[in-house]
Amino acid sequence: MSEYLFYFLAFVSIFAALLVVTAKNPIHSVLFLIVTFFAIAGQYIILNAQFLAIVHIIVYAGAIMVLFLFVLMLLNLNKESEPVKSYLMKGIGVLAGCLLALVMVAALHKSTMSPALGNPNEDIGLVGNLGKVLFKEYVVPFEVSSLLFLSAMIGAVMLGKRDPKIEPVNEITN
């Protein structure tokens, strides 16, 4: 049962991810990306990691993608504003991607599960266990990541703030 579900979700996520790249309209790309995120959240649920699944949906589908959509709608990008790339560049891109895929498939198709992994705990994805791992074993990376968010926040405020010096010029051009 869960094996079929895995293949179904994997198919959906890969198919939607391909559509993200090929869709002409950026809004459609974003919507397909949301479908991909849902499929991945489904994979988390199969792995008994409900907390990760729902956080994945809240953070990625619920917040980040809404902002993406928000910006795209304001910019009003559509087929006409899509830059025309030459067929040569597209061909090279496709070729490079296929080569990477080939190398990966060649490298991975005979690989087996590593013995080093042992038997992972099946309930590790539940919120209580996850919290214990996060706050005991990985507390230092957890705390250090606050530096990352703080600096990103400072940066966002700094870049977003309008500098008073040439504000009038901005007003006119906008």
Partner 1 sequence: MKLLIGLSVLAVITMMMGLFKSRKIVLPVVVLGLLGLLYIASGYGCYCEDKMFGMYINEHQFLKMFDINKNSGLVGLIMISGLLITILAHKGFNYTENHRADMHALMLFSMCGAVIAVSYTNLLMLFLGIEIMSIPLYIMAGSNKHDSSSNESGLKYFLLGAFATGFLLFGLALIYGATGSFNVNQIYNYTHNQLNVSGGIFKMGIVFTMVGLVFKIGAAPFHFWTPDVYSGAPSIITSFMSTVVKIAGFGALIFFFNGVLHPMGAEWGKTFAIISAATMILGNVTAVYQISLKRMLAWSSVAHAGYLLMTVAANGNNVPKAVVLYLAAYSLASIATFAVLITTGKENFEDYNGLGKRNKWLAIGLTISLLSLAGVPPLAGFMGKYYLFTTVYEQYPWLVIVAICTSAISIYYYLKTIIAAWFKKGSEDAIQVPLSTVFVILVCILGLIALGLMPQVVLDLA
Partner 2 sequence: MDLILEKSILIIVIFSITLVIAMYSTYMERKVAAFLQDRIGPDRAGPFGILQPLADGGKMFFKEDFIPAKSERWLFILGPGIAMLTALMTSAVIPWGTSIEMFGRNISLQVADINIGILYVMGFLSIGVYGIMVGGWASNNKYSLMGAIRASSQMISYELAMGLSIIAIVMMNESLSLSVIAEKQDSWHWNVLYQPLGFLIFIVCAFAETNRAPFDLAECDSELIGGYHTEYSSMKLGFYLFAEYINMFISATMISTLYFGSYNFPGMHWVGDHLGHNWLAIIEVAVLFSKIIFFIFFFMWVRWTLPRFRYDQLMHLGWKVLIPLAIINMLITGGWMTYVWK
Between the alpha carbon of residue 69 and those of residues 11, 13, 152, the distances in Å are 24, 19, 21
63 near partner 2, rule: CB under 8 A: yes
Among 1, 67, 89, 144, binds partner 1 (CB under 8 A): 144
Residue range at the interface with partner 2 (CB under 8 A); choices 7-15, 61-69, 147-155, 156-164: 61-69
83 near partner 1, rule: CB under 8 A: no
Which of 12/27 has CB closer to partner 2? 27
Least Å from the CB of residue 96 to partner 1: 11
Least Å from the CB of residue 160 to partner 2: 13
Residue with tokens 């870049």: 159
User: What residue spans of 23-164 are helical by DSSP H?
Assistant: 26-46, 50-56, 65-75, 87-108, 127-132, 139-160
- Tell which residue, 111, 20, 34, 87, has the closest CA to residue 65: 34
User: How far apart (Å, rounded) are the C-alpha atoms in residues 162 and 169?
Assistant: 11
3-state DSSP assignment of residue 161: coil
155 near partner 1, rule: CB under 8 A: yes
Q: Are 82 and 24 in contact (CB under 8 A)?
A: yes
Contact residues toward partner 1 (CB under 8 A) are 104, 106-112, 114-118, 137-141, 144-145, 147-148, 150-152, 154-155, 157-159, 161, 163-164, 166
Contact residues toward partner 2 (CB under 8 A) are 27, 31, 34, 50-51, 54-55, 57-58, 61-63, 66-67, 69-70, 73-74, 126-127
